[in-house]
Amino acid sequence: MNNRIETTKSGLLCANFEKVVDGKHTSLFILQNTQGSELTISNYGARIVSLMVPDNTGTLIDIVTGHNSIDEFINSEEPYFGAICGRTGNRIAKGKFTLEGKEYTLAINNGPNSLHGGLKGFNSVVWDVKQIDHQTLALSYLSKDGEEGFPGNLSVTVTYTLNNDDSVEIKYEATTDKTTILNLTNHAYFNLSGAGDANVGDHVLRINADYYLPTDETAIPYGKPEKVEGTPMDFSTPHEIDLNINEKTDQLVWARGYDHTYILNKKDATEYVQALECYSPKTGIEMIVYTDQPGVQLYTGNWMTGNFVGKNGQRYPAQSAVCFETQHYPDSIHNPEYPTIILKPEDKFESKTVFKFSTRK
């Protein structure tokens, strides 16, 4: 048993995450800080399984949705719960792109488009693990040339650290031996009132963005950013997520809520900034996200069904969780004016995102 712990603070049985998948062993890895908070990670998908942080009474609660076992994650109707998405997170129009004069074809797995790396993206593979210490875990994966249609042998490392200030730091590193495209993100589904709470509509959200990318019915951006001001997409000042979510605009109707990229206010695309802050009035838990990525995808769990039982008997209906996916923009390879997702052999991709948690009384 990992760290000789049999049951996590969130009630998960570590034994339920022990399995051989594609010839590699999966486990549940546990990080704890000096404050007693706990982050658990599976190397299947390099995913966050649970995150226990204190509410405003000092009680630890789990704030991410998920499953009780590795088998449930493998068979989930929500395959991206907590996972790292790649080789390219988000969507590529029509599943085709041209790079250095050669056309590449990807799996079509989301309407007419390719989503989150294809049929077997980084969320569905077993990563190699190195536990640095009781607060840091490094996961590595070699995506071979041609995997899911992408060029180049891509070597990726994702390092999670649970810091003593109750922040979760995610560092991404990647290199390739052939020019390729890359857009990595973490797809944790948060509910700051506790995983299993019925709705995140009461969460108060502010996003540090004056522009967003409107999309067509298949969630592919039209191209040009638009101002959020005067629209239901505006989170530049704090307000409840559900304040405008039911407005009958094309953007919200097509996505069944928010599923849009916000272009962060930055001096340049690589500047490290505060991206957003989100707060639950029920628990007092506040989440602040920092990143060096140019955008953040706000997704309000619009396609969740509540059809299955998740962790500890909980169900997850639509909009019972919210995702803050720090990343480059969707379909960037077809929009040269967007920050580039092209990675060349002479370059190294490095990025950092931090989820910082505290409480308000």
Active site residue ranges: 187, 325
Angle at 290 between CA 288 and CA 296, to 5 degrees: 95
Beta carbons of 48 and 39 less than 8 angstroms apart: yes
Both structure tokens of 287: 């989440």
Helix spans in the chain (H)? 70-74, 250-255
Whether the ω angle into residue 87 lies within 30 degrees of 0, i.e. cis, is yes
Q: Is the dihedral of CA 88, 292, 45, 48 positive or negative?
A: negative
Tell me the one-letter amino acid at 192: L
Report CA 134 to chain centroid distance, whole Å. Answer: 23
Beta carbons of 97 and 151 less than 8 angstroms apart: no
Distance in angstroms between the alpha carbons of the first and the last residue of the chain: 38
